[in-house]
């Protein structure tokens, strides 16, 4: 058989297996992401049976996560949040800082370096956009519409805060071989490129709206190219550079249209991203680091769920604080990115890395199941809604793999704001 044909066959088989595993996961009330991770584990070199070409999967997975976070960045509208969800503006960043500090102190006590402890803390502090969207639109959901809106807004601000802290940590923490001064200059240079891109791209897209093929090519190529420049010039992880690029693009109908046309490609490749994570889980290392796994899951509860609950109470958010806190109680995409950086830099060992990957699967499963067991207060929406208020309907919300968010809440509407948290359904 032709070598190329064999690789294409393997890729198609992996996607079909992921689809089947995702469907089965949903039948037992788990997110499809758990099924994707399981497929990755089954075809990894660490388990008996078929072994997939991890290099090929990793390439597609990298493209998928770049497009995923590029689009997430496009959707962020902090100014809109400041106007309409004021308590979230301070509550979410405080939670990220608190969670990072608590986990970081524990990491230092466990023998990690300051750099490794900071990466671990950030990894635990940030939630999964994939799971947040699944919770807000699941047909089995028990969350109220106001809780859904708060979940989406909180997770967006987590990412914004987390990216700022991650960039500072990687730059000042000596990530890479460059002196700190040179690293800061390179980071500033990347910032200039991002700002120029943010000004030029909408203009170019506006001229190409009638040329659908060229519009799509420019949209995809911009996300990939800017992420690649950020990684090569500023030594940022591809995913973080892509998020920064998307975040800088000004809100416009052209940016919203670019996001919409990116969805099919992002959706397909993002599935391979989670499969690729599964291929990295080494059961032997996971057993060796079982204590770390238990500790990290416990830290998610103590350092993230508990502070989120308290802050939601203090901020008097229009949300059920129990559902909000539990809905945020998992780790996901950014955690994997930061874990990979930590492992490559020697900031922590294989056991900690395996435990963090294991915590991704465990906390995603626990969060999505437990949040459905918590019943929202009766008539919570009716009690909170003003007479003319337009409500948020999560069942009609934009989702992964494709779809559009209707004007159902102050954090929706692609043509007016960029708040939507995209991610795979399930």
Residue 6: exposed, middle, or buried by beta-carbon count in 10 A (0-12, 13-18, 19+)? exposed
Average pLDDT value for residue range 321-333: 90
Tell me, yes or no, whether 411 lies in a domain: no
- Domain-embedded: residue 231: yes
| CA-to-CA separations, 340 to 39, 40, 58, 334, 356, in angstroms, rounded | 20, 17, 13, 10, 10
- Is residue 405 a part of any domain in this protein? no
Mention every residue, 6+ apart, whose C-beta is less than 8 A from residue 90: 315
Single pTM value for the model: 0.74
| Per-residue model confidence as pLDDT tens digits over 50-60 | 787 777 777 77
Q: In this structure, is residue 179 part of a structural domain?
A: yes
Q: How far, in Å, CA of 351 to CA of 366, rounded? A: 22
Over the chain, what is the mean pLDDT? Answer: 79
Is residue 424 classed as helix, strand or coil in its secondary structure? strand
Q: What span, in angstroms and rounded, lies between the C-alpha atoms of 184 and 189?
A: 9
DSSP state of 378: T
Q: What is residue 121's predicted lDDT score, i.e. its pLDDT?
A: 94
252/10 Cα distance (integer angstroms): 40
Q: What percent of the chain has pLDDT over 90?
A: 20
pLDDT of residue 37: 87
Partners of 424 in the β-ladder: 400
Burial of 384 (0-12, 13-18, 19+ CB in 10 A): middle
Residue 183 has pLDDT above 80, yes or no: no
C-alpha–C-alpha distance, residues 65 and 57, integer Å = 12
- The pLDDT score that the predictor gives to residue 403 is 37
Distance of CA 281 to the CA centre of its chain: 19
Query: How confident is residue 373, by pLDDT bands cut at 50, 70 and 90?
Result: confident
CATH number at residue 387: 1.20.1530.20
Please check whether residue 404 lies inside any domain of the structure. no
> Residue 225 falls within a domain, yes or no?
yes
**Residue 357 domain boundaries:** 3-396
Tell me the sheet residues that pair with 400: 424
Q: What is the pLDDT of residues 257-292, one digit of tens each?
A: 777 777 777 677 778 888 888 888 888 888 888 999
What is the three-class DSSP state of 400? strand
Is residue 33, in this structure, part of any structural domain at all?
yes
Number of domains into which the chain is organized: 1
């Amino acid at each position: 058989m032709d070598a190329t044909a064999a690789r294409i066959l393997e890729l198609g088989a992996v996607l079909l297996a992921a689809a089947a595993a995702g469907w089965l996961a949903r039948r037992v009330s788990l997110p499809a992401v758990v099924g994707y991770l399981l497929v990755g584990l089954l075809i990894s070199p660490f388990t008996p049976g078929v072994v997939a070409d991890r290099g090929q999967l990793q390439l597609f997975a990298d493209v998928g996560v770049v497009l995923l976070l590029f689009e997430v960045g496009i959707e962020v509208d902090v100014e809109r949040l400041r106007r309409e969800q004021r308590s979230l503006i301070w509550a979410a960043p405080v939670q990220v800082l608190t969670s990072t500090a608590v986990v970081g102190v524990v990491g230092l006590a466990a023998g990690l370096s300051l750099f490794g402890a900071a990466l671990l803390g950030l990894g635990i502090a940030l939630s999964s956009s994939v799971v947040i969207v699944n919770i807000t639109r699941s047909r089995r959901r028990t969350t109220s519409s106001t809780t859904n809106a708060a979940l989406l807004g909180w997770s967006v601000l987590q990412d914004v805060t987390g990216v700022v802290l991650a960039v500072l940590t990687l730059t000042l923490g000596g990530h890479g071989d460059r002196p700190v001064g040179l690293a800061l200059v390179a980071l500033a240079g990347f910032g200039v490129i991002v700002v120029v891109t943010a000004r030029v791209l909408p203009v170019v897209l506006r001229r190409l709206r009638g040329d659908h093929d060229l519009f799509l090519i420019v949209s995809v190529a911009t996300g990939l190219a800017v992420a690649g420049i950020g990684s090569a010039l500023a030594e940022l992880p591809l995913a973080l550079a892509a998020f920064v690029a998307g975040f800088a693009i000004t809100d416009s109908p052209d940016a919203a249209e670019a996001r919409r046309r990116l969805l099919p490609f992002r959706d397909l490749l993002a599935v391979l991203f989670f499969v690729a994570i599964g291929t990295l889980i080494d059961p032997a290392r996971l057993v060796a680091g079982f204590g770390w796994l238990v500790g990290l899951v416990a830290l998610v509860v103590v350092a993230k769920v508990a502070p989120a609950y308290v802050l939601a109470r203090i901020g008097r958010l229009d949300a059920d604080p129990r559902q909000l806190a539990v809905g945020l109680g998992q780790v996901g995409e950014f955690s994997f990115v930061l874990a990979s950086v930590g492992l490559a830099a020697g900031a922590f060992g294989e056991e900690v890395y395996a435990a963090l990957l294991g915590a991704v699967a465990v906390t995603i499963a626990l969060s999505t199941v437990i949040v459905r067991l918590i019943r929202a207060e009766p008539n919570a929406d009716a009690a909170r809604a003003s007479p003319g208020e337009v409500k948020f309907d999560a069942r009609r919300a934009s989702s992964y793999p494709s779809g559009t968010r209707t004007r159902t809440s102050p954090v929706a509407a692609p043509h007016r704001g960029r708040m939507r948290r995209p991610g795979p359904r399930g």
